[in-house]
Structure 1
Amino acid sequence: MLTQSTLETSRLNLRSLTQADIPSIQRCASVRAIADTMISIPHPYPEGEAGR
């Protein structure tokens, strides 16, 4: 069985993605300034792509 770990510091909470993260991912990936820094994020970011 694979367990998911969480890394927490005073400035960071690193955890596995969940379905609840989809709206935030969609919103951030749709910002042109963010998409321009990522080679694999298209702009405009397709609706529903973050949920795949």
Structure 2
Amino acid sequence: MTKTNEVSEVLENVIAKGDDFLGKAKDFIAAVEILLVAATSLKALLDKNGGTQHE
């Protein structure tokens, strides 16, 4: 019976760590998306204002 409890605890720990990892990964992806939008917007702004002269 204790082996079953140990296995259950280990599985619960793995699932909890996996959920934590997924949460952090989603936060990282959201941050990268924000940076991509900012970089794309900046490029469009520079191109609109003749960016090659100001780079």
Query: Given the two structures, how large is their TM-score scaled by the length of structure 2?
Result: 0.25
- Structure with greater strand share of residues: 1
Query: Given the two structures, how large is their TM-score scaled by the length of structure 1?
Result: 0.26
- Structure with greater helix share of residues: 2
